[in-house]
Amino acid sequence: MSVVKVTTTLPISWKEFEVGEWAHTFLTEGVVACVQIDKIRSMYYWESRANSEEEWRISITTDISILTQLIQSIESVHPYDTPQIIWSAVNSNENYSKWVKEAIK
């Protein structure tokens, strides 16, 4: 069995409750089963220079059947001009995969 993990980042200038509210919208839309939030350090090349700064990493668990809708939702409310939105199918046990499918509306 498998589920889809989607990852994006948000600016560290956002307060934790703002990040939580942003992520919660996807739960209420019924396009995700689970959202995990943690602080990370990102190093990247942007506008002709190397950057290093803290960000919020958002890891989202969903089902493949809803992936396109979720990506469109993320893009429509994301604060970055070019947000990182990456995903992959990952193996999971049967009970977890079943729960993910049931949690999505």
Q: What is the pTM of this model?
A: 0.92
Could you please state the CATH topology (level 3) that the domain comprising 2-103 is classified under.
Alpha-Beta Plaits (3.30.70)
Q: Which long-range contacts (CB under 8 A, 24 or more apart) does 50-53 make?
A: 53/12
Gap between the Cα atoms of 98 and 88, Å rounded: 18
Question: Residue 29's CB: how many other CB atoms inside 10 A?
Answer: 14
CB neighbour list of residue 87: distance below 8 Å, 6 or more residues apart: 4, 5, 6, 7, 67, 71
**pLDDT tens readout for residues 29-81:** 999 999 999 999 999 999 999 999 999 999 999 999 999 999 999 999 999 99
| Residue in 15, 4, 73, 7 with CA at minimum distance from that of residue 42 | 7
